[in-house]
Amino acid sequence: MQIMITGANGQLGQALLRILPGAVGLARPAVDITDADAVERAVAAHRPDVIVHAAAMTDVDGAARDPDLAYRINGLGTQAVALAAARHGAVVAYVSSNEVFDGQAGRPYTEFDPVRAINPYGASKLAGEPRGSRAGAAGTSSTASSNWPTSVAAYAWSATRSPTRPLSTTWLTRSRA
- The residues carrying an active-site annotation are 121
Which residues partner with 26 through β-bridges? 6
What's the rounded Cα separation, in Å, for the pair 95 and 125?
9
Given a contact cutoff of 8 angstroms between Cβ atoms, the answer to whether 43 and 4 are in contact is yes
What's the rounded Cα separation, in Å, for the pair 142 and 103?
16
Residue of 27, 33, 34, 2 whose CA lies nearest to 13: 27
Task: Count CB neighbours of 29 within 10 A.
Answer: 7
Give the orientation angle of helix 148-159 with respect to helix 11-19, to 10 degrees: 60
What's the rounded Cα separation, in Å, for the pair 33 and 123?
18
Per DSSP (E only), the strands in the chain are: 3-6, 24-26, 50-53, 91-95, 169-172
